[in-house]
Amino acid sequence: MAAVALGGIPEIGQVDDRLCLAVWHSLRMRDPHRLAGVVDALARPVPVAVDSRLVVMPTLCAMPAQTQVRWLALLHSPGVPSCHYRRLVTACADHVSDPCSRLLLDSLARRHGSSYRSPDVKQAADWPNLWQDDSNDVDMEDDVSGMASPPASQADVAVASQPSVPLITDEQRSLIDNIQSAIDEGHCRCEESMEWLRNATPDVVRHVLAKMDMLSRPDAILDTFARALVNADTNFETCAAVIDCCLLPRVLALTSGPASRMLFEMVAGLAKQHTRAFVSHLLCPLLGQLSSPSQSELLGRITRDCLADQDRALLLQHALTLQSWTEETIKVVYILVQSGVSMTAIIASNLVACIATIAADQQLCKAVKFPALIVALANKHGALMREHRVVLLDACERLQNFMKKVAIKSVQNIS
């Protein structure tokens, strides 16, 4: 099986995403030539046996779909000149078949000036704000020579996985103290300090958020701080840091009661202002960790009220990559389908496969929204469901509540 080592990690599919990201940033600081070599290694052609014949394809495309997705998501991290990414995109363009991989490759192409466009995505003219890049990354054109050096030792991996403390100058420390004092007083009227933080590196932003203990602050304080820091000019990495450090943990903590009105408005505002960072750093991670009705209710409301169709489509495709679903996952997918989310034949097939798996689970098939999901599929996407009627009818026959007859009738009416 094709594999490319990242530092001391021989196969990223076997380790946690945070460790992969930590090693990436460690290599970025210590050995950028080696990091560029990793990207080049992913584009290197290898022979693969397909239907009893050998086909030459890039190393990345010879990997399992789930590993491809993890690599492509990781490649959105900064640190490698754009020319390396463009070579990788060109090499993979004709070989990537997984829908999620194609969308991520499309995103990578647009980010680094490649002409590749995923067949699953409409033209940018139809979706004017879909791929608007709100990051301030510099497009590095200079090539970096040299291939990847031997894998790092286990000690390198251990050091890379430890959180690093960025170097803070005395002047910056004074600016941080100004923000701290303003927050303690219940306001953020320190524009010079906030402007510095808005343009600081992601490591510095995360360090400041941890120092100020923003996670434990009341919703009102966090809302004031977020409104002062995040505006239309805030870059992708800063938005991601605020979401990772402040919003995602707060939403994951919703286990006993609904989100406050202030928390919902704060989350909804960020969803509309910086959709790409919001989907990738809050909605997708949350969808994979849903554990309470409060969380699924919040995710459902945001999905229904704040996202455009293309963003709902990305969220649906992410749901199809999850190893397992819960009753809360079914609720969110139902909302996505009921909204009429755009769907390709491949996505429809994958979703029907998930439905068949749920129907075979004696507990999960009792989920309240499971019959409604089947009905919504039949009503909203009948043309795509026509070839899957037998599987859907089998799932309906396994239902054990009053919606069974309604679901069967809806599937039978698919024309």
Walk me through the domains of the chain, giving residue ranges and CATH numbers. Answer: 17-120 (no CATH), 168-307 (1.25.40.480), 309-414 (1.25.40.480)
Average pLDDT, stretch 140-146? 41
Q: Can you say whether the dihedral through the CA atoms of 1, 72, 278, 314 is positive or negative?
A: negative
Average pLDDT, stretch 228-245? 88
Query: Is the pLDDT confidence value at 256 over 70?
Result: yes
Q: Report pLDDT for 407.
A: 94
Using one digit for the tens of pLDDT, what is the confidence trace for 91-136?
898 888 888 888 888 888 888 888 888 876 644 434 444 434 444 4
Mean residue pLDDT of the chain comes to: 81
- Residue partners of 255: CB distance under 8 A and separation at least 6: 291, 292, 294, 295
Query: Is the pLDDT confidence value at 137 over 70?
Result: no
Query: Is the pLDDT confidence value at 141 over 70?
Result: no
List phi, psi (to 5°) of 385: -85, -10
- Residue partners of 87: CB distance under 8 A and separation at least 6: 40, 43
Q: Report pLDDT for 151.
A: 46
Where does the pLDDT of residue 158 fall: very low under 50, low under 70, confident under 90, or very high at 90 and above? Answer: very low
Can you give the C-alpha Rg of the chain in angstroms?
Answer: 23
Q: Report pLDDT for 101.
A: 85
Using one digit for the tens of pLDDT, what is the confidence trace for 390-410?
999 999 999 988 899 999 999
Q: Can you say whether the dihedral through the CA atoms of 270, 284, 299, 341 is positive or negative?
A: positive
Where does the pLDDT of residue 19 fall: very low under 50, low under 70, confident under 90, or very high at 90 and above? Answer: confident
Query: Is the pLDDT confidence value at 139 over 50?
Result: no
Using one digit for the tens of pLDDT, what is the confidence trace for 307-323?
999 999 989 988 988 87
CA dist 187 and 183 (Å) reads 5
Using one digit for the tens of pLDDT, what is the confidence trace for 44-70?
887 777 766 767 888 888 888 888 888
- The percentage of the chain sitting over the pLDDT mark of 70, rounded to a whole number, equals 85
Q: Can you name the residues that pair with 56 across neighbouring β-strands?
A: 47
CA dist 193 and 182 (Å) reads 10
Average pLDDT, stretch 167-179? 82
Where does the pLDDT of residue 386 fall: very low under 50, low under 70, confident under 90, or very high at 90 and above? Answer: very high
Where does the pLDDT of residue 411 fall: very low under 50, low under 70, confident under 90, or very high at 90 and above? Answer: very high
- Residue partners of 285: CB distance under 8 A and separation at least 6: 248
Q: Report pLDDT for 341.
A: 92
